[in-house]
Amino acid sequence: MMEAIQMAEINAANAGTFAFDDKFKVNRLGYGTMQLTGPGTWGPYRDPESGIKVIKQALDYGVNFFDTADSYGPWFADRYLAAGLKGAANRDQIFISDKVGQTRQGPNIWTPHGEANYLRQQVEVSMMTLGIDHEDLVFLHRIDSHFSIAEQVGELKKLQDEGKIKHIGLSQVTVAEIKEAQKVAKIDAIENLYNVADHRDDDVLDYAETQNMAFLPWFPLATGKLAQPGSELSTMADKYQVSPAQIALAWLLKRSKNVLPIPGTSSVDHLADNVAAANVELSDTDFKTLSDLSK
């Protein structure tokens, strides 16, 4: 539903900014590349040129924060992201978060591997694939139980000390695991499954907020039954004259100033809808109503 939101108003900057350091602020509403792959996040996307077009359009909408991973494809999403960002006038103002530590053996198969040499290799190959000389942010995609947190985060810290990584993050972790990693390196971001429907690691988000860490909710548009006609989310979307997806993103943006949603899409129309969520301002009452839905 774009009737209530003029196209000229679609700008990711309307969601506000988050500062990773004193030199760089990102617009809080970003873009995730996971959908730019084949079925099961495996193999090439069916229409690479369309995927590249979506990335270029995201830039036009003010998106300057892109989230990717070597395991998306693997490598294919990174290639499309590199192509989409190539020649961008504001390339030095674009922030890329990357992830390493997952191996792929086929569609929907993900196997963590946290050996130091492997993590280092993936960072090096990712930089070549993306065409960059350093990583803005690298997440340990999953903690591998075969290696200590100190070993895995420690290798990322070594790469950081070498100037190859600026910021270090963790994905799908508990507060206890974050605290363990903080003994080894400064952790600047967390990426956990989190959405308005039913996945709420509120303790992790709250801890990240106290530490001034960015919190990236992956699968942010998993609204499920909440988006069905007659549901609370659908009714609220009608009230604001926007889509259920925009309400879900607006809820995330209001949840905390350190939340950076990264909705992914392969559709330019859906991209416009997602970014336009930056214009939706939920009332405190409506925010609480949505917050109580998963209790």
Tokens 């803005």, residue located: 136
CA-to-CA distance for 33 and 52, rounded, in angstroms? 10
Q: What is the largest CA-CA distance in the chain?
A: 55
CA-to-CA distance for 237 and 273, rounded, in angstroms? 13
Chain-centroid distance of CA 43 in Å reads: 20
**β-sheet bridge partners, residue 17:** 27
Q: What's the Cα-to-Cα distance from 86 to each of 8, 54, 91, rounded to whole Å?
A: 24, 13, 8
Tokens 């963590």, residue located: 112
SS3 state at 125: helix
CA-to-CA distance for 139 and 137, rounded, in angstroms? 7
Asked whether 277 and 245 are in contact (CB, 8 A), the reply is yes
Residue type, 58: A
Asked whether 266 and 54 are in contact (CB, 8 A), the reply is yes
Give the alpha-carbon dihedral of 107, 112, 117, 119, to 10 degrees. 80
Choosing from 31, 45, 72, 240, the catalytic residue is 72
Q: Is the peptide bond before 74 cis (omega within 30 degrees of 0)?
A: yes
Of 129, 214, 123, nearest to 162 by C-alpha is 123
Pairing state between β 214-218 and 135-140: unpaired
45 is annotated as an active-site residue: no
Query: Strands (DSSP E) along 142-291, which ranges?
Result: 165-171, 187-193, 214-218
Catalytic residue set: 72
